[in-house]
Amino acid sequence: MTGMSMPPPGTAWMGEGPATGRAVMRGSGRAALATAQRDSGGWPLPSLVLVALDLDATPLLLLSGLAEHTRNLERDPRAGLLFDGTAGLDEPLTGPRLSVLGRMERTADPRLRDRFVARHPEAAQYAGFSDFALWRLRPERAHLVAGFGRIRWIAGDDLLLPATAWSELAEREGDIVGHMNADHADAVALYATVLAGRPAGDWRLTGLDPEGCDLRAGGATARLPFERTVTTAEEARAELVRLVRRARSAQPA
């Protein structure tokens, strides 16, 4: 396989359960959305959408009220999202992908809107338009294919992290991300170039969660998983410090 930066042993990619499913979702900035086409007897309509994730891995979508898929959801909230984790593989069918089934609902939570725009800065141009609304998918079950013959269903409640794992971190995420971008841009650059193997650029942290952090430079993105799950701001800071130490030690002398 080529072109795919795999996390070190012990991270979320190594299993074939809920953690692997979340890793596939968190590594994707877009997904295929399937809705029931309202004027065709319920035939599935696939659409390409941008997606962000809440700290618990709930998928978030910013949708236009003029779009066919939005009109479909207003009539039937059932939906499916396909997350593709096979990018860069010589044999894509050996890589992971996750189909999440659930019901979509609108949300006006400003924290979730901010999280979506942080992941997709271009959305700031239209996020405030009256015909756009933020939606979230409430997973009911998910179908994980981790490779040939490695297939399983995951219950919706198992796919998402419990509130105890992320609620405290959510209150401080903005402070941590802002501090890293303002005062530790050199560390963020090392995360992307050394640990994630991306080209040099104006890399910024766009979000973090109990399982890792997201980075962006222009249109390029990267996902850096943590080696251990964090639930508090203090644990997150300790993990970010440990990661930059690992990055510096990995640099050529």
Listed by start position, the domains of the chain span 12-160, 167-250
Give the residue-averaged pLDDT of 126-149: 94
- pLDDT, one tens digit per residue, over 49-65 is 999 999 999 999 999 99
The structure's pTM equals 0.89
Q: Please say whether the beta carbons of 209 and 196 come within 8 A.
A: no
- Predicted confidence at residue 8, as pLDDT, reads 37
**CATH fit for domain 12-160, picks 2.40.50.140, 2.70.70.10, 2.30.110.10, 3.40.50.80:** 2.30.110.10
Query: Which long-range contacts link 118-121 to residues 24+ away (Cβ below 8 Å)?
Result: 118/52, 118/177, 118/206, 118/207, 119/29, 119/52, 119/53, 119/206, 119/207, 119/214, 119/216, 120/29, 120/50, 120/52, 120/62, 121/206, 121/216
Give the residue-averaged pLDDT of 237-241: 97
Judge whether residue 5 has pLDDT over 60: no
Judge whether residue 28 has pLDDT over 70: yes
CATH number for the domain whose boundaries are 167-250: 3.20.180.10
Give me the chain's average pLDDT, please: 92
Q: Where residue 89 falls among pLDDT bands split at 50, 70, 90?
A: confident
- Predicted confidence at residue 253, as pLDDT, reads 63
Judge whether residue 15 has pLDDT over 90: no
Judge whether residue 1 has pLDDT over 90: no
Give the residue-averaged pLDDT of 186-197: 96
